[in-house]
Structure 1
């Protein structure tokens, strides 16, 4: 569920002993408060040099607003923004040591790939010759040396993304912002470009902040996830922590788990809304309980002698293809999602309205403190 990322890069200033929350330390230290009409963003965001942080959340959560605030394109109405100890709150966008890769790349259509990349160094005072020399080196690093003279309309989506990344990195930013950098790519190209982007981010020695709503992009590319809903941080941690311990319905759906909240008394969890669930963990007090849709077994009739400790009477609310399986959305005693093969769905005669019995073994649940 959580693809492996490269190990610590010896070229990076490592995290131990470096606290980005201290204003005299390198890295990002921000509290972003933006009031805009009926929407309020209020999130704390810190990152050490060499760290890739992904802002993850549903549409309208405030991710892009946060990114624009970091870039200086959205003024703060409160909070603070410090980068490597320097306050950036009042620094205009063009003067910030920040590189941005936009969702649609925003390459200059009248310039070649080389001159697109050279644009940044030129703006920072480099001569035309030096800027083009730097740009050529960056295109070579991106595997695009043969496309230096091509204009954006002649580039594929993956090539345009790499040119945009090279243009952002050519200014040697201390903060790299990526706004849905893979969203414009088709599925096949996305796979290849994601792998390349992961390599480039592993080599980046400053702070990188990635905005995405795609959990795979976030888990492959980021060291740490910050999940934002309704303008607030609802959970943050490593990709593995987030996947194993979701704390909201949105995160649970994102990582493919059924999630419930209740109160534990030993191995029994009485849900806030619904029946009890038996677990292998022995806990006390408020807890979450999670299990994957693949842990659910469905029966047309109440099973006799089933070993599962958890058994609920449900009704099929909907069916959809999910990879090579069928995902059943169930309502009833316990609303849940169940995955089963096409053959099993046909044998059970499943369709909306079909009554079923759902079972989950205690060993396939996971309970943890709320």
Structure 2
């Protein structure tokens, strides 16, 4: 049953601006259950591996996928609550969406694409086109107002899609992998522009992305989703410094281990130990960057507190360095220069010694 009439549960309550939602969606063997809140002006990024539930969450916020349970409130107004048989249709929600492939109308000009939203909200044609012209001007696209989507570059199409979403003055802006379709150079420029526009956006923005750089640059807060659940959330700097799952550690480029601390020594399952500078007790995580690891052909006479005998499993290019995948008592990743790899004559199967200074590690409670 769909109910679009204002009911007592829909009336705004004081100090309730922003997003307040518990999104529960059951889809066969998969269950999404997320608690999401955000204040006006806040940009929240949903991160997670494929199949984690990010897109399902975005579709639920947009009203494209019905909630099984939970509630969705925006600025104090309840948009959806299955237990009260309340569900506001997508077209009646103050929500703007920028899709990954933009979904611009191919037969309309950039101007008319942007004017489409206001027109659907009852704005007269001339006024809607005037508003659209203002948005295109903000996006630096005044000279492309008469162009149709096929004549736009990827970056221009992305900005037109953003202008179209913002032209309805939404209270919730949803961005589904907004930079995924762009090449590397265009992505850099458009990311910077998108950051400026989001900084000026006064309502809530939720961004779904696979790219950690997009998330770190664009978002005020990260919400990491795995298997339909939130596994970690916080400021980008906090999450990048203190990852709590292998996925997040891989995302931010850290080796991550879980063990039990006794002072400066952390013992992992299996008995391997890591010496840290932190003095802790009980369950902890230990993280360190691959660049902190030094490799040696022979057992070194080193002051490093951590020393392990390992074996090279694989090598691959990683930016301007070579990432070495090592197996043994402590499987880890190490980043070396090409010259260092050549000097060590590294290849799969080669035994090596790995050292790590305690000062390069970071331990924190699990």
Distance in 2, Cα, partners of 1:272 & 1:188? 44
Cα distance in 1 for residues equivalent to 2:249 and 2:165: 34
The 10-residue stretch of structure 1 (273-282 or 89-98) with the greater mean CA deviation from structure 2: 273-282
- Write the deviation string for residues 235-273 of structure 1: whole angstroms up to 9, x where unpaired: 000000000000000000110100000010000000124
C-alpha displacement at 1:38, in angstroms? 1.1
For residues 250 and 147 of structure 1, the distance between their equivalents in structure 2, rounded to whole angstroms, comes to 41
CA distance in 2, matches of 1:135, 1:272: 60
Greater Cα shift, 237-246 or 340-349: 340-349
Quote the residue 1:342 is aligned against: 338
**Structure 1 counterpart of 2:102, from 100, 105, 113:** 105
Q: Which runs of 5+ in 1 are unaligned?
A: 1-21
Equivalents in 1 of 2:354, 2:14: separation in Å? 53
The one of 26, 33, 36 equivalent to 2:24 is: 33
Question: What residue is the counterpart of 2:258 in the other structure?
Answer: 261
Residue equivalent to 1:132: 129
1:80 to 46, 71, 75: 71
Q: 2:233 aligns with which of 208, 217, 236?
A: 236
Q: How well do the aligned residues superpose, as a CA RMSD in angstroms?
A: 0.9
Q: Does 2:317 correspond to 1:326? A: no
Residue 288 of structure 1, CA deviation: 0.4
Cα deviation, 1:52-92, whole Å, max 9, x if unaligned, reads 00001111110000000000000000111000010111000
Structure 1 equivalent of residue 8 of structure 2: none
Q: Which residue does 2:3 correspond to in 1?
A: none
Matching residue of 1:314: 310
Unaligned runs of 5+ in 2: 1-12, 81-86
Q: Which runs of 4+ in 1 moved over 3 A?
A: none
Distance 1:221 1:109, change over 3 A: same
Partner of 1:49: 40
| Aligned-partner Cα distance in 1 for 2:173–2:45 | 12
Distance change (3 Å), C-alpha of 1:273 and 1:224: farther
Structure-1-length-normalised TM-score: 0.93
Secondary structure of 1:88 counterpart: strand
Match in the other structure for 1:206: 203
2:52 is aligned with 1:61 = yes
| CA distance in structure 2 between the aligned counterparts of 1:273 and 1:368, rounded to whole angstroms | 20
- Corresponding residue number in structure 2 for 1:369: 365
Aligned match of 2:119: 122
Determine the structure 1 residue equivalent to 2:214: 217
Hey, what does 1:7 align to over in structure 2?
none
Contact 1:274 1:334 in 2 (8 A): no
Counterpart CA distance in 1 for 2:118 and 2:191 is: 26
Q: Distance in 2 between matches of 1:73 and 1:353?
A: 51
| Paired positions, count | 348
Kindly state the Cα deviation for residue 349 of structure 1 after the two structures are TM-superposed. Answer: 1.0
Distance 2:65 2:346 in 1: 50
Partner in structure 1 of residue 224 of structure 2:
227
CA distance in 1, matches of 2:344, 2:228: 43
What is aligned with 1:145? 142
